[in-house]
Structure 1
């Protein structure tokens, strides 16, 4: 059954690693004494037009054919990043929870397979407040699921979703996103910790401002000495067109022009600094490296 862009947005109301991690943990790398693991939250089903509509269609079709991608329907993976060092257990985003799409919201099961209970999480750090990243915040009693965690979010991202005018300016198709984000942020209002781009928010974790997908979207550099990776959230939202034509606008970005500029700069930095990345919607567990050829890029999953 096909799913329209409007219907999708309105609906917002590992064996490859080890037997213990099972199918939920898709990729894992060491960063100094720490470990960065992706935990599968399931996948989304979205109309291709949600991403592709603003792009030059005559140039897009051959690229999709080259990548083996259908322009009709996409089913991107959802990879929640988990970083564990000798002190902290940090979760980047909390997945979709049970109320977004039935194919997503599997994070708790994935964490259990990885030997991590919700009460083990010391910090929850948000890249942004879209449904598949923040709707897993609350348990069945509408209390924060990760009850012992410190919640952290960029100040600009919080201010955007907290602003009562956002629901009237975000556009009709995204109203449910604004309402859902505000409801979940209210649950952590009294305890949340704010930060800005460039700040070291935890030892070895630095916030990197990557706006466009949302006004306050953040990525995070996780570093120990010379070893580092970037947790990029949705700053690079897919493994095909976003890498082949990073300058093209994407319909999934709230400010497509800013997001494209962010994406180009981020890819340049990733390649120049030889950084591994962990992307929320990238395949193969979402952890990998980036290869550059001229003005185009390619994502090479670690798990492949």
Structure 2
């Protein structure tokens, strides 16, 4: 025999159960313990396997950009806000993550990008990469290679510490020469890029003697291939990372946002050196990645930034991969 249970009867049942439990506690039953709030979060690293390699993603902390107006351009402001709110994101504060993969190839430990470092240009939540690495059990002295997608403040800011000394004392630093030359040019210190140039000079010049310049298409480390992706900066580069037949593409800043710059990939981003070129590069390389179904590791997508990209009618869609807590 089946019986329909209405919402009202369920509510009444719940109220009755609550009353009886409360009465039982008052009649001599023990009081329910009140646990204190802990006020702490889990450690900021995530680990997965890639072929024979082990990847540890560490965070430099959230990077809030503030309101999208003036930053994401080429689409009406109200449409941008609607795109955010339709995806349950704040229309008034675009928050990016900073996800750096550290790939243990067995003979090399390779870190991609280093976060904001000591700069608080985007607020107090950045600059925790070294802490995240300690939580992951990785020592800075064990890093063999620091690979830079480009020389913007939030990607090379953690190469040196507050004292100006290199934080990765045994690592070679890999970057495109065009980006190094552009962002360390002291002639730009008097212009609008001043803060970015100061930060780049602070972090890149102390390691110039251990710097290696890669070329487009070059496998400059075993299992790491450079793919030129200009527009965001003159030498912006993404990387194909491969071990035992398994790959992911580290996107750097090919796209900053999983909604705004994927659903409408020709939308422009105000921090791009050449916004039009950046949009063309974004469409071309995302199309290649989606067509070949290459997994992506995104620096700025929601933690931990690992997932897949598929084509849509207008642009692309990001499918985050579920975190797997078993290695």
Q: TM-score range by the shorter chain?
A: 0.7 to 0.9
Tell me, yes or no, if structure 1 residue 111 matches structure 2 residue 133: yes
Q: Give TM-score scaled by structure 1 length.
A: 0.86
* Offset from partner CA, 1:147-193 (integer Å, 9 cap, x none): 0111111111111113333334xx52x32011111222111122211
Aligned match of 2:124 = 102
Task: For residue 72 of structure 1, report the CA deviation from its aligned partner.
Answer: 2.2
CA distance in 1, matches of 2:90, 2:261: 15
2:173 and 2:72 mapped to 1: Cα distance? 34
CA distance in 2, matches of 1:288, 1:37: 15
Partner secondary structure for residue 55 of structure 2: strand
- Give the superposition deviation at 1:64: 2.4
TM-score (norm 2): 0.80
Counterpart check, 1:66 vs 2:61? no
Query: Which residue matches 2:37?
Result: none
- Does the C-alpha gap of structure 1 residues 53 and 260 become closer, same or farther in structure 2, counting only changes over 3 Å? closer
1:120 matched residue in structure 2? 142
Take 1:204 and 1:224, find their aligned partners in 2: how far apart are those partners? 6
- Tell me the C-alpha RMSD between the 2 structures: 1.7
User: Contact 1:155–1:194 (CA<8 Å) still a contact in 2?
Assistant: yes
The answer as to 2:195 corresponding to 1:176 is yes
Which of residues 268, 276, 282 in structure 2 aligns to 1:257? 276
Q: Is the CA contact 1:50–1:252 (under 8 Å) kept in the aligned structure 2?
A: no
Which residues of 2 match residues 184-223 of structure 1 at below 5 A?
A: 184-223=203-242
What is the aligned partner in structure 2 of residue 16 from structure 1?
A: none
Alpha-carbon deviations, 1:174-228, whole Å to 9, x = none?
3201111122211112221111111111011000111111111111100124311
Structure 1 residue ranges without an equivalent (≥5) = 1-21
**How far apart, in 1, do the equivalents of 2:131 and 2:216 lie?**
32
Q: What's 2:315 paired with?
A: 296
**Is the 1:49–1:71 contact (alpha carbons within 8 Å) kept by the matching residues of 2?**
no
In 2, Cα distance between the equivalents of 1:107 and 1:50? 29
- For residue 209 of structure 2, give the secondary structure of its aligned residue in structure 1: coil
Aligned mate of 2:112, from 80, 83, 92: 92
Partner of 1:10: none
Contact 2:96 2:256 in 1 (8 A): no
Aligned residues: 279
Contact 1:55 1:250 in 2 (8 A): no
Q: Kindly state the Cα deviation for residue 53 of structure 1 after the two structures are TM-superposed.
A: 4.1
Distance in 2 separating the partners of 1:303 and 1:136: 28
Task: Work out which structure has the larger RCO, using CA pairs closer than 8 Å and 6 or more positions apart in sequence.
Answer: 1
Q: Does 2:298 correspond to 1:279?
A: yes
- Contact 2:268/2:279, CA 8 A, preserved across alignment: yes
Q: Which residue of 1 aligns with 2:44?
A: 24
Is the CA contact 2:186–2:197 (under 8 Å) kept in the aligned structure 1? no
Q: Give distance in 2, aligned partners of 1:65 and 1:44.
A: 19
